[in-house]
Amino acid sequence: MIAAPISAQSGGDVARSYREVHEVEILKDFAELLSYPNSARDLDDITRAAEYIRDELLEVGVDSELLQLEGVPPIVYGELNVPGATRTLGIYVHYDGQPVDPSNWTHPPFEPTLYTAPIPQGGRELPMPDPGDSIDPAWRLYARSAGDDKAPIAALLPVLRAFRESGTQSTSNLILFFDGEEEAGSRNLPRYMETFKERLDPIDIWLFFDGPAHPSGRPQITFGVRGSMGMEVTVYGATRNLHSGHYGNWAPDTGVILSRLLVSMKDETGRVLVDGWYDTADLIGDEERAALAAMPAWDNQLKRELGIVRSEGEPESLPQRLMVPALNIRGITSGNTGALARNVIPNTAVAALGIRLVKGNEPEHLRQLIIDHIQREGFHVISEDPDMETRLRYPLIAKVTGGGGSRAARTSMSNPFAQSVMAAASVAADRAFGQGSLVVAPGMGGTLPITPFTEILQKPAIIVPVANHDNNQHAPDENLRIANLWYAIDLYAQLLTMPATIF
Amino acid sequence: MIAAPISAQSGGDVARSYREVHEVEILKDFAELLSYPNSARDLDDITRAAEYIRDELLEVGVDSELLQLEGVPPIVYGELNVPGATRTLGIYVHYDGQPVDPSNWTHPPFEPTLYTAPIPQGGRELPMPDPGDSIDPAWRLYARSAGDDKAPIAALLPVLRAFRESGTQSTSNLILFFDGEEEAGSRNLPRYMETFKERLDPIDIWLFFDGPAHPSGRPQITFGVRGSMGMEVTVYGATRNLHSGHYGNWAPDTGVILSRLLVSMKDETGRVLVDGWYDTADLIGDEERAALAAMPAWDNQLKRELGIVRSEGEPESLPQRLMVPALNIRGITSGNTGALARNVIPNTAVAALGIRLVKGNEPEHLRQLIIDHIQREGFHVISEDPDMETRLRYPLIAKVTGGGGSRAARTSMSNPFAQSVMAAASVAADRAFGQGSLVVAPGMGGTLPITPFTEILQKPAIIVPVANHDNNQHAPDENLRIANLWYAIDLYAQLLTMPATIF
């Protein structure tokens, strides 16, 4: 835990009072924001969402506009210059969301719906409240991007409005920079940064408003993210699906062939067996080790909540496991199961691999290690579907695609900006969730597009998440717990009024 | 090879001449028959198809009607009584087809489309021919059920028409019995047989017009079928999909867990590792062994055609491999791959298992062996999704569903009826494909609903397939090669005019 040298600022009081009076209004504004479809792949949708957010920012006094490179999602950009302020905070949020398959959602993903509790725990649907109704902070608002990552926008707007109405000043200049394609890999972020570098150069430190709280429900602050890379492996049987009666026991069984390859990559304890997998990960330092040791022992609780008996890598804890690169199966597809299952031996089996990198790992290097491994398992590795000549030459063939992806990043915990942000977050956490509730994590497991900030702009970056850990991020029935929205309001008010003396 | 003691009968000449004059008309009638959707699960569709076939049979002089148990697909039933005939052939065909996923087809599955050759081999689409056009027997007609199993209906109708027009008499009474739910497991066949047993009792031998030719392209005749059983195994991770960033390296990796289980079931050579798997299979006799030895050595050709280097169970041949029970993966589903892949650790992984039984195997026994195996691999086996208590008690949980299925059947090759049918088929094969072309197989790999005939009606059954082996049965782009339709006409003409002296 970080000591909290700063007492609560009046900014915090202002925001909290404003929120208590305007809870219904804030919730309804959030629901409106969530009603904008926001897959980065639909340029019309994402532009409509961007324009809405820009207009909302203008209304609370932020000098806002869309930065627009042709044919890609815009950046929602905003400036709030404070007379006399000597430092500038960069605030990163992404307003796009993961693609949705509405058939798996309880409600349409862009029709925000209120529940008394999580749906699987028996939550009941509620109508949106009327002015004057009281709101239970245990309620959940269900919609795509409720947790990842529109909640920060919904919390920042009322803070700015409260400050404006009360004449409260931020102690830093603010530059808002809202990404429109984080879930699609933030492919154009480096180009945006280079094109608009002059505007971003004044920023002293970046705050990433993204990610979930600690699984304990306690708020957290994080100094690093893992990198991410997706790959796909396809193995081949006959040139066509074969009737399982006429050819069963004779035709190559693609499901088993793929299974054998996947099993060769990971042992029963969760250790990745790809040669060299752990060799390039940076060792963590004393500060990170101390922070890991101070983190709550939450694994058993989390396992009870998720209904699992055994985690990968036991007895190492989840925070420890996030310090080494991960290899997971994101999906397997071969033939069909359930009502669509047919009596065939599928001619291919496909596995989508999810790789998470830690500091020190290069995506291309890990990709090559996986390819080397597949070759050592006896497969001829190709990058396109095999032609007949290839099929007839090699008994085992694997097509490997994907790669690219992003490196991990980590900001030193001894950075003076970091100290300041930790202190402000600690005050907000104490206020919202009780004394000493802030969890300080050296690294989070997820991936944010932090590398361009640290590598192109060369500025430190700290991740300040607000969403509940069980927000179903990236999955159907994504949701935000209302208490976490209230915490976000407390938190942002503290960050915007950090004393100028600290840095 | 079987010697052909009978010289070509006039029935064969009549049918062949008729076909040569009416090729375009026969092809168009076939296309019309194929245009009727025929999934057994759609009662309206299947009834329309049945009525159409019944009407076509009435037109060629068969006393035809629908046998109808309530709420299930009807049997198309027909009788052709021949004055003076002393024996009765039962002819089994199924007019239903495997369910279709039209998105995987080159053309809609119920819009029959003509090609010069198989599509993957560069076949070009052709318009349906006009009267007088000549037809290349290498052409293919694409549609669901082209090979499995409407071709026999399309061949039998012109034979009966030719006989009727020329005054040619069948040498046997005929009872036609066309099943409407073979692809759905012929679940009501026993009930139909018991309800209409009196009509079926006169039958001396059943001929099954179903299944594909030998992979060499040579026609074949077969004395047995494998049984079939489908099972499904689901393994469980957390109660919900987890974000692969936040939980990757820690959450149970369902894809790997399922893979490990599947790999435990089969070794690299294709040998099933489930304890007791091969113990209950009947050993084959001398006659079957001799027939197996006389079959063409076709594996290498088939492998070249299918683009594979190594078959399961090498160096045993495909016909030998069909004499032992098979275990195959029909499908695997976990999360998503391709464009739908997301950064999650899927909370389940599902495998559909396809089991093929040989004579001696009991479905329930093999099912239990698989369950025992899964338990030995450390899984707690259940039949419904686990509740929280179960999840928190067992580190490995597998839901096993499915089972049921059918036993295998085999008719003795020394049966006098069998001798007679072999002789007639041999003549037709000589005529259509050249001297000595008939392949005699002790057993085929596929499954036909033969057991109720041998077990309820207690009559021998012989399988007389006509479809090309590469008809994409059960898969998209199913097709029939026209030469195989012409062979079917020759074959049925011979079978209908077998000399009465043989039995």
With residues binned 3-state (H G I as helix, E B as strand, rest as coil), the percentages for chain B, rounded to 5, are 35, 20, 45
pLDDT for the residue numbered B501: 54
Considering only CB atoms, B475 lies closest to which of A241, A263, A312, namely: A241
Contact (CB<8Å) B232/A326: no
* Of the options 3.30.70.360, 1.10.10.10, 3.20.20.70, 2.40.10.10, the CATH number for the domain spanning B227-281+324-403: 3.30.70.360
CATH class of the domain whose range is B10-225+412-496: alpha beta
Question: Exposed/middle/buried for A55, CB within 10 Å: 0-12, 13-18, 19+?
Answer: exposed
Confidence grade of residue B404 (pLDDT, cut at 50, 70, 90)? confident
Average pLDDT over residues A326-351: 95
Beta bridge partners of B94: B179
Interatomic CA distance for residues A243 and A227, integer angstroms: 43
pLDDT at A2 over 60: no
pLDDT at A305 over 70: yes
pLDDT at B161 over 60: yes
- Nearest residue on chain A to B214, alpha-carbon basis: A246
Contact (CB<8Å) B343/A252: no
Residue whose tokens read 């008394």: A116
Considering only CB atoms, A244 lies closest to which of B304, B318, B354, namely: B354
Contact (CB<8Å) A346/B334: no
- Nearest 5°: CA angle at A26, between A23 and A31? 125
Asked whether the bond before B315 is cis by omega within 30 degrees of 0, the reply is yes
Please write the tens of the pLDDT for every residue from B276-308: 999 999 888 788 888 899 898 999 999 999 999
Question: Exposed/middle/buried for A287, CB within 10 Å: 0-12, 13-18, 19+?
Answer: middle
From chain B, pick out residues whose CB is under 8 angstroms from the CB of A244.
326, 328, 330, 354, 356
pLDDT at B6 over 60: no
Interatomic CA distance for residues A244 and A239, integer angstroms: 14
Find out whether A338 and B232 touch, Cβ atoms under 8 Å: yes
- Nearest residue on chain B to A401, alpha-carbon basis: B338
Average pLDDT over residues B199-228: 91
pLDDT at A502 over 70: no
Contact (CB<8Å) B249/A324: yes
Residue from B330, B356, B361, B400 whose CB has the most chain A CBs within 10 Å, to mutate = B330
pLDDT for the residue numbered A487: 97
Average pLDDT over residues B370-385: 98
Two tokens, residue B171: 């040498």
Confidence grade of residue A405 (pLDDT, cut at 50, 70, 90)? confident
Residue whose tokens read 């994402």: A46
pLDDT for the residue numbered A335: 96
With pLDDT > 90 as the criterion, what percentage of chain A qualifies?
Answer: 80
Interatomic CA distance for residues A139 and A127, integer angstroms: 12
Q: What is the ipTM of this complex?
A: 0.76
Residue whose tokens read 């079931």: B265
How near does any CA of chain A get to the CA of B245, in Å? 4
- Count contacts between A and B (CB, < 8 Å): 356
Please write the tens of the pLDDT for every residue from A155-213: 999 999 999 999 999 999 999 999 999 999 899 999 999 999 999 999 999 999 998 89
How near does any CA of chain B get to the CA of A211, in Å? 9
From chain B, pick out residues whose CB is under 8 angstroms from the CB of A349.
329, 332
Confidence grade of residue A384 (pLDDT, cut at 50, 70, 90)? very high
From chain A, pick out residues whose CB is under 8 angstroms from the CB of B120.
239-240
Q: Do domains B10-225+412-496 and B227-281+324-403 have the same CATH topology?
A: no
pLDDT for the residue numbered B447: 78
Please write the tens of the pLDDT for every residue from B102-151: 999 999 999 999 999 999 999 999 999 999 999 999 999 999 999 999 99
Beta bridge partners of A13: none
Please write the tens of the pLDDT for every residue from A15-51: 999 999 999 999 999 999 999 999 999 999 999 999 9
Confidence grade of residue A460 (pLDDT, cut at 50, 70, 90)? confident
Beta bridge partners of A333: A350, B333
Greatest alpha-carbon pair distance for chain A in Å reads 82
Please write the tens of the pLDDT for every residue from B71-112: 999 999 999 999 999 899 999 999 999 999 999 999 999 999
pLDDT for the residue numbered B451: 79
- Nearest 5°: CA angle at B123, between B121 and B125? 155
With pLDDT > 70 as the criterion, what percentage of chain A qualifies?
Answer: 97
Average pLDDT over residues B318-336: 95
Find out whether B355 and B274 touch, Cβ atoms under 8 Å: no
Beta bridge partners of B352: B232, B331
From chain B, pick out residues whose CB is under 8 angstroms from the CB of A259.
258-260, 262-263, 329, 332
Which contacts of A267-272 are long-range, i.e. CB under 8 A and separated by 24 or more positions?
A: A268/B260, A269/A312, A269/A313, A269/A314, A270/A311, A270/A312, A270/A313, A270/A314, A270/B249, A270/B250, A270/B253, A271/A313, A272/A325, A272/A326, A272/A327
pLDDT for the residue numbered A501: 54
- pTM of the entire predicted model: 0.76
Residue whose tokens read 């695609």: A401
- Nearest residue on chain B to A473, alpha-carbon basis: B243
Distances (CA, A) of B171 to B158, B177, B499: 17, 19, 7
Please write the tens of the pLDDT for every residue from A80-93: 999 999 899 999 99
- The correct answer on CATH 3.40.50.11030 for the domain covering A10-225+410-496 is no
Across A174-211, b (16+ Cβ under 10 Å) vs e yields bbbbbbbbbbbbbebbeebbeeeeeebeebebbbbbbb
User: Which positions ≥6 away from B352 have C-beta within 8 Å?
Assistant: A335, A336, A337, A338, A341, B230, B231, B232, B329, B330, B331, B332
Spatial strand order of the sheet with A63-67 comes to: A63-67, A75-80, A173-179, A88-94, A205-208, A461-463, A220-222, A439-441
Domain spans of chain A, in order of start:
10-225+410-496, 227-281+324-403, 287-323
From chain A, pick out residues whose CB is under 8 angstroms from the CB of B399.
none
Residue whose tokens read 């597949």: A374
Contact (CB<8Å) A447/B475: no
Q: Give the DSSP letter string of A43-80.
A: HHHHHHHHHHHHHHHHHTT-EEEEE--TTSPPEEEEEE
pLDDT at B21 over 90: yes
A53 CB neighbour count, 10 Å cutoff: 24
- Nearest residue on chain A to B344, alpha-carbon basis: A330
Contact (CB<8Å) A309/B392: yes
Residue from A239, A241, A265, A329 whose CB has the most chain B CBs within 10 Å, to mutate = A329
User: Which positions ≥6 away from B83 have C-beta within 8 Å?
Assistant: none
Q: Give the DSSP letter string of A85-146.
A: ---EEEEEEE--B----GGGSSS-TTS-EEESS-GGGT--EEPPPPTT----TT-EEESTTT
From chain A, pick out residues whose CB is under 8 angstroms from the CB of B297.
none
Average pLDDT over residues A430-450: 88
User: How does the average pLDDT of chain A come out, rounded?
Assistant: 93
pLDDT for the residue numbered A75: 98
Q: Comparing A64 with A418, which gets the higher pLDDT?
A: A64
pLDDT at B69 over 60: yes
Contact (CB<8Å) B395/A310: yes
pLDDT for the residue numbered A5: 36
Contact (CB<8Å) A328/B244: yes
Two tokens, residue B373: 């195996």
